[in-house]
């Protein structure tokens, strides 16, 4: 469907995208995930043909985008600012691209009804845009982008301005519609949850470069580098020294403790400073001086912060023997319903395979 090869975009001295390559297959939902300024919109705008790469090529259906005139590009788009026509009805907005593309007049009302139903706005076609809620307007924008059945759907943070509950509902809604139509989709977001929930594949960008391209589970479980580990999920980083490196594993010294973990680093990393990463939900918390079921490592700690969030308790703890590190812990505790107190002495622990070692400057 779409193929980018070595795509770079410079604005004067700013390199917005550098050597970006990936392919999108028929029916696939791909999300470009990255912080603000990482080059996501730039990549999307080049795919849409709104601007030319400084270097590299972009193919749509095997042909260079630049050779296709805009009306021949079969692309639907939804942006953060929806750009709906406020003076028109919902139906009028959805019909607009059909008229522009010369669909037979007689077919348009039936098609508009079909797409209103698809986004669950059946019967609301006569409402003006300003008579619809934020979520309903979002649905009109989706229907308008899809009504001419494009080959490709491009989404640039269309959910960013919605409140959390609605945003989470719309993520599932988008996914349902996309799967129902089977339209190849590229979604851009800075929201890691959205990327994990919606996508077949995630491309993580930082500083204009692709940091990792992977299925959501893999980006979460096997982050390619320290940036990805820190951007997806809440992750504790502990300074360490590499003592020994084997195939896919390493022993590191963290403060007073020798710890084993997963590592992509080779033997050349031995003796070097590295970051040991532990996700907040993979640090276990238990009674002082007691073992913790399933934990391979046990370390004494003191609770410094307790935040009750309903479905979980968030702790901050200090661990003097981990080089004085402070760690964040998510405790979902479905069994004990026990909340620790500030100042309480506890044991923290983790499984050896949950510790990930990332060499610095690699
Ligand atoms: N038209 C432009 N002129 C100059 N710099 C730009 C332009 N568009 C984007 N940039 C710069 O390129 C970088 C990437 O921007 P953008 O693609 O919008 O990032 P994102 O969508 O990930 O927030 C930023 O540093 C931004 O300031
Ligand atoms: Mg952007």
pLDDT at residue 138, as a whole number: 87
Residue nearest to atom 8 of ligand 1 (CA): 42
- Residue with CA nearest ligand 1 atom 5: 11
Q: Is 257 exposed, middle or buried (0-12, 13-18, 19+ CB in 10 A)?
A: middle
* Ligand 1 atom at minimum distance from 17 CA: 14
For residue 80, what pLDDT is reported?
Answer: 76
What is the pLDDT at residue 135? 86
Please work out whether the CB of residue 41 comes within 6 Å of at least one atom of ligand 1. yes
The reported pLDDT for the residue numbered 187 is 96
Cα–Cα distance measured from residue 43 to residue 47, given in angstroms and rounded to the nearest whole number: 6
pLDDT of residue 156: 94
Residue nearest to atom 24 of ligand 1 (CA): 37
SS3 50: coil
**pLDDT score at 334:** 63
Strand partners of residue 68: none
Q: Give residue 361's pLDDT.
A: 67
d(CA 81, CA 133): 15
CB of 36 closer than 6 angstroms to any ligand 1 atom: yes
Residues in the 5 Å CB sphere of ion ligand 2: 41
Q: What separation in Å is there between the alpha carbon of 340 and the centre of ligand 2?
A: 41
Question: Residue 311 carries which DSSP code?
Answer: S
Superfamily for the 234-359 domain: Nucleic acid-binding proteins (2.40.50.140)
- For the chain, give every domain's residue range: 2-226, 234-359
Which CATH architecture best describes the domain 2-226? 3-Layer(aba) Sandwich (3.40)
Instruction: Show pLDDT as tens, one digit a residue, over the chain (362 residues).
Output: 999 999 999 999 999 999 999 999 999 999 999 999 999 999 999 999 889 999 999 999 888 988 887 777 889 999 877 789 998 999 999 999 999 999 999 999 999 999 999 888 999 999 999 999 988 998 999 999 999 999 999 999 988 878 888 888 888 888 888 999 999 999 999 999 999 999 999 999 999 999 999 999 999 999 999 999 999 999 999 999 999 998 899 999 999 999 999 997 677 789 999 999 999 999 999 999 999 999 999 999 999 999 998 889 999 999 999 999 999 999 987 666 688 999 999 999 999 999 999 988 65
Q: 220 C-alpha to center of ligand 2: Å?
A: 23
User: Which residues are within 8 A (CB) of 42 and not within 5 positions of it... i.e. 6 or more apart?
Assistant: 9, 16, 17, 51, 208
Ligand with minimal distance to 157 CA: 2
Nearest alpha-carbon partner for 143 in 167, 122, 161, 116: 116
Report how far ligand 1's centroid is from the alpha carbon of 42 (Å).
6
Phi then psi for 198, rounded to 5 degrees? -95, -20
Ligand number nearest CA of 37 is 1
Task: Give φ, ψ of 255 to 5 degrees.
Answer: 55, -125
Check residue 311 and give its pLDDT.
86
Residues 273 and 103: their CA atoms lie apart, in Å, by 63
């Amino acid at each position: 469907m779409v193929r980018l090869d070595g795509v770079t975009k410079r604005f004067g001295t700013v390199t917005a995208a550098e050597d970006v390559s990936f392919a999108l297959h028929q029916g696939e939902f791909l999300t470009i995930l990255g912080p603000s300024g990482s080059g996501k919109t730039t990549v999307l705008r080049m795919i849409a043909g709104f601007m030319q790469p400084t270097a590299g090529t972009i193919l749509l259906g095997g042909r260079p985008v630049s050779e296709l005139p805009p009306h021949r590009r079969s692309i639907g788009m939804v942006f953060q600012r929806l750009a709906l026509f406020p003076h028109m009805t919902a139906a009028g907005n959805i019909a607009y691209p059909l008229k522009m593309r010369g669909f037979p007049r007689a077919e348009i009302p039936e098609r508009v009804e079909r797409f209103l139903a698809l986004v669950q706005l059946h019967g609301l076609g006569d409402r003006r845009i300003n008579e619809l809620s934020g979520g309903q307007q979002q649905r009109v924008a989706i229907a308008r982008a899809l009504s001419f059945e494009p080959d490709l759907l491009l989404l640039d943070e269309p959910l960013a301005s919605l409140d959390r509950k609605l945003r989470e509902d719309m993520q599932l809604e988008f996914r349902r519609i996309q799967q129902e139509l089977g339209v190849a989709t590229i979604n851009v977001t800075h929201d890691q949850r959205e990327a994990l929930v919606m996508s077949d594949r995630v491309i993580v960008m930082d500083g204009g470069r692709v940091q990792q391209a992977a299925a959501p589970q893999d980006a979460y479980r096997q982050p390619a580098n320290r940036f990805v580990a820190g951007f997806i999920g809440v992750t504790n980083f502990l300074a360490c020294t590499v003592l020994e490196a084997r195939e896919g594993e390493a022993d590191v010294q963290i403060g007073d403790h020798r710890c084993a973990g997963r590592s992509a680093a080779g033997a050349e990393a031995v003796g070097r400073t590295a970051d040991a990463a532990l996700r907040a939900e993979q640090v276990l918390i238990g009674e002082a001086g007691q073992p913790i079921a399933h934990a391979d490592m046990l370390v004494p700690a003191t609770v410094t912060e307790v935040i009750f969030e309903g479905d979980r308790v968030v702790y901050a703890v200090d661990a003097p023997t981990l080089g004085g590190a402070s760690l964040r812990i998510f405790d979902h505790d479905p069994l004990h319903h026990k909340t620790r107190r500030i100042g309480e002495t506890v044991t923290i622990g983790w499984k050896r395979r949950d510790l990930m070692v990332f060499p610095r400057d690699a």
